[in-house]
């Protein structure tokens, strides 16, 4: 022996497995509010059926855009559920108000919504059946403007098109939807909500 001390052997450190990221399949619940004029009357069943505790349909007969704006603070309340707000309003105004005033009120509503922070979908105004050319021209003008405005301000826009002027979907007054028309309208909005949530 040469008197030198042997170097102690160091056991190799076991390799640690790479950290695993654990994800949960549970999606956060979303709170859905559909609010609008008399066209929403009777739509609560189809709109809320998927998740009644977290869905609400608020019908305000005769409501104008500015009425929705006044109602917002009581509709969109602080919550840990990120809200989805579906708005259908302005159709009645197309009969009596000029397009410029309606667009102004939509802008004011948009500013209010930005402060509240929900995901927002604007549903287009429905045209009416028959020869009410002036109203349908205003409706088309507002819808075209609303679509572009939504895109510029990060709101979503849903175009209902002209399907509801088909025979049997309007009442005899050719302005309001028939029961069949309302049923189809509610089903379309329910599908729209499902797509927005998924």
End-to-end Cα, the chain, rounded Å: 77
CATH number at residue 88: 3.40.50.1110
Alpha-carbon distance of 95 to 113, in angstroms, equals: 25
Residue 97 lies in a domain: yes
DSSP state, 77?
Answer: -
- Per residue of the chain (198 residues), what is the pLDDT tens digit? 555 555 555 555 545 444 444 344 445 568 899 999 988 988 999 999 888 888 999 999 888 999 998 988 888 776 656 789 999 998 878 877 888 999 999 999 999 888 777 899 999 999 877 667 778 888 999 999 999 999 999 999 999 998 888 888 988 877 788 999 999 999 999 999 999 988
Residue 101 lies in a domain: yes
β partners of residue 32? 55, 84
User: What's phi and psi for 123, nearest 5 deg?
Assistant: -95, 135
User: What's phi and psi for 108, nearest 5 deg?
Assistant: -65, -40
Residue 103 lies in a domain: yes
Alpha-carbon distance of 74 to 68, in angstroms, equals: 10
DSSP state, 5?
Answer: P
């Amino acid at each position: 022996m040469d008197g030198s001390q042997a170097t102690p052997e160091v056991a190799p450190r076991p390799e640690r497995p790479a950290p695993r990221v654990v994800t949960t399949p549970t999606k956060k619940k979303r709170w859905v509010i559909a609010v609008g004029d008399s066209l929403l009357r009777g739509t609560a069943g189809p709109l809320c059926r998927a998740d009644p505790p977290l869905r609400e349909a608020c019908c305000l007969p005769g409501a104008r855009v500015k009425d929705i704006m006044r109602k917002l603070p009581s509709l969109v309340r602080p919550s840990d559920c990120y809200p989805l707000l579906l708005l259908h309003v302005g159709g009645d105004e197309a009969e009596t108000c000029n397009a410029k005033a309606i667009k102004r009120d939509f802008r004011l509503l948009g500013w209010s919504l930005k402060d509240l922070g929900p995901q927002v979908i604007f549903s287009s105004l429905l045209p009416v059946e028959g020869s009410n050319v002036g109203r349908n021209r205003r409706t088309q003008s507002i819808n075209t403007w609303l679509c572009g405005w939504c895109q510029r301000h990060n709101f979503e826009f849903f175009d209902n098109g002209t399907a509801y002027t088909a025979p049997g979907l309007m009442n005899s007054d050719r302005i309001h939807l028939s029961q069949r028309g309302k049923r189809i309208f509610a089903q379309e909005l329910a599908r729209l909500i499902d797509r927005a949530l998924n």
